[in-house]
Amino acid sequence: MKGIMIGCVVLAFIAAVFYLLLAAGIITVPTLESKEWQRTLIYVAAGCYMLGGLLILAKKRWLWIVGLLMNTLVMAFFFIMYRNIPAVMLSLPGLGTKIPQIILEVGLIYLIATYKREK
């Protein structure tokens, strides 16, 4: 279980790093023009993934459930907004954030499903 938790933390940090690189303009999406409020939102997303990744280590099932729901919402918004724009979906930032997030989902589901309270 500890290995899965560490893996989930690493995945959350990988997603956060891609968000930071995107917000800083180091990696870009060719078909999108970034506005200042969007960059701010991306920095907030990166911070949330860093904090959420660390909260995985708290071994609280309810935190894992909240993280699972929030991560699902982030991915749902992304796929709804860009479903008709494959250049965004298949860009480095798109794949660099969504692949770790999808694997993170699987890890959180596993942690939630196999969690046993310590006495």
Radius of gyration of the chain (CA): 15
90 SS3 class: coil
pLDDT at position 57: 96
CA 94/CA 92 separation, integer angstroms: 5
Residue ranges in the chain whose pLDDT is less than 50: none
Q: What is the pTM of this model?
A: 0.90
> Which domain does 47 fall in, by range?
2-114
Total domains present in the chain: 1
| Residue 119 belongs to a domain | no
| Residue 103 belongs to a domain | yes
Host H or E run for residue 15: helix 2-23
Cβ within 8 Å of residue 34, ≥6 positions away:
25, 28
pLDDT at position 119: 53
| Residue 6 belongs to a domain | yes
One-letter amino acid at 93 equals: P
DSSP, residue by residue, 16-73: HHHHHHHHTTSS--TT-PPPHHHHHHHHHHHHHHHHHHHHHTT--HHHHHHHHHHHHH
